[in-house]
């Protein structure tokens, strides 16, 4: 599975262009005829069909109208919007403060989602984090992204979001890398408190936490964390951007990857013993 932040956007743009090409060909129109009918230059038609350029909503409307495919306009426009919103650059978004980052990591999305599938190889998921852990994480990002300090508002937002997720009516399935347990954010006492909090959450009946031991024989390759929200979308975060995946085929790929990661993890008493071992060694 690729983790190139641009790959999903580029592939989705190509697939959108291919759909528009099929509509044109089904209507029996050449690229030049379509260009004349829609008031565009022929090269723009070519760039859209080859996935080099994303069509505007007006482009899609005029294209489908000229080809007698008006019924496809709503779906194509929705697809175009998802292409453009798939990649959000952190530096630009952070200018308004950290609490506004993360399109899918919103309170509304957490309220709507019934099943969370989460893989985090080196950090603990936000919904498991203590306030001290959150503030340590934020301190780095404020400096790295040159963002205005809105820590109190961000902590409050994250607390509300966590309350929405940690609800007995939902299902939270998490696979952690052992490094997520061992990577310390803050003082040893703060980290011990964080792991004790994690251990408490692991006992909740609607929460499943698996841990992949560092020395486990690995097959799956997932180098960055990802969150699957029901079967609707996947969220990934790189150091510079948030990526939202909504294409059904790609979401299903992430679901398949998650199943492989689950198979490599240990659960229940074995997982809790790993947490205890880290606490004991601090």
For the record, the structure tokens of 79 come out as: 């697809």
For the record, the structure tokens of 200 come out as: 């408490």
Question: Which of these CATH numbers, 3.30.870.10, 3.20.20.70, 3.40.50.1260, 1.10.12.10, describes 87-280?
Answer: 3.30.870.10
Cα–Cα distance list, 242 to 15, 32, 93, 104, 124 (Å): 21, 38, 10, 9, 17
Residue-level length of the chain: 282
Please provide residue 142's backbone torsions phi and psi, each rounded to the nearest 5 degrees. Answer: -60, -40
The tens digit of pLDDT for each residue in 176-210 reads 999 999 999 999 999 999 999 999 999 999 999 99
For the record, the structure tokens of 273 come out as: 């013993």
| Residue from 261, 266, 263 nearest 213 by CA | 266
The span from the CA of 234 to the CA of 236, in Å, is 7
The tens digit of pLDDT for each residue in 19-77 reads 999 999 999 999 999 999 999 999 999 999 999 988 999 999 999 999 999 999 988 88
| Residue from 19, 43, 18, 14 nearest 31 by CA | 43
Domain ranges for the chain: 7-84, 87-280
| Burial classification of residue 158, based on how many CB atoms lie within 10 Å of its CB (0-12 exposed, 13-18 middle, 19 or more buried) | buried
String of DSSP letters for 215-256: TSPP-----S-EEEETTTEEEEE-SSEEEEE--HHHHHHHHH
Which superfamily is assigned to 7-84 in CATH? lambda repressor-like DNA-binding domains (1.10.260.40)
The tens digit of pLDDT for each residue in 129-143 reads 999 999 999 999 889
> What pTM was computed for the model?
0.74
Tokens 């692991």 belong to which residue? 202
What pLDDT shows up at residue 5? 43
| Residue from 204, 180, 194, 181 nearest 273 by CA | 181
């Amino acid at each position: 599975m690729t983790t190139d932040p641009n790959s999903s956007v580029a592939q989705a743009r190509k697939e959108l262009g291919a759909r528009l090409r099929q509509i044109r060909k089904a209507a029996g129109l050449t690229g030049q005829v379509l260009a004349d009918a829609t008031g565009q230059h022929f090269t723009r038609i070519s760039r859209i069909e080859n996935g080099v350029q994303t069509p505007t909503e007006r482009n899609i409307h005029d294209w489908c109208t000229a080809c007698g495919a008006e019924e496809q306009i709503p779906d194509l426009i929705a697809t175009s919007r998802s292409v453009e919103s798939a990649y959000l650059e952190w530096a630009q978004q952070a200018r308004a403060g950290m609490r506004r980052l993360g399109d899918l990591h919103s309170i509304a999305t957490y309220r709507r989602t019934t099943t969370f599938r989460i893989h985090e190889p080196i950090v603990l998921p936000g919904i498991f984090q203590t306030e001290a852990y959150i503030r340590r994480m934020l301190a780095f990002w404020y400096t790295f992204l040159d963002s205005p300090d809105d820590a109190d508002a961000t902590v409050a937002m994250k607390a509300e979001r966590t309350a929405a997720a940690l609800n007995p009516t939902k299902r939270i399935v998490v696979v952690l890398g052992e490094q997520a347990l061992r990577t310390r954010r803050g003082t040893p006492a703060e980290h011990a408190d964080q792991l004790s909090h994690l251990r408490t959450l692991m006992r909740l009946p609607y929460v499943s936490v698996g841990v992949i031991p560092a020395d486990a024989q690995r097959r799956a390759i997932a180098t960055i964390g990802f969150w699957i929200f029901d079967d609707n979308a996947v969220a990934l975060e790189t150091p510079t951007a948030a990526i939202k995946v909504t294409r059904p085929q790609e979401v299903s790929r992430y679901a398949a990857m998650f199943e492989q990661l689950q198979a490599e993890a240990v659960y229940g008493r074995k997982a809790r013993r790993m947490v205890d071992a880290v606490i004991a060694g601090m």
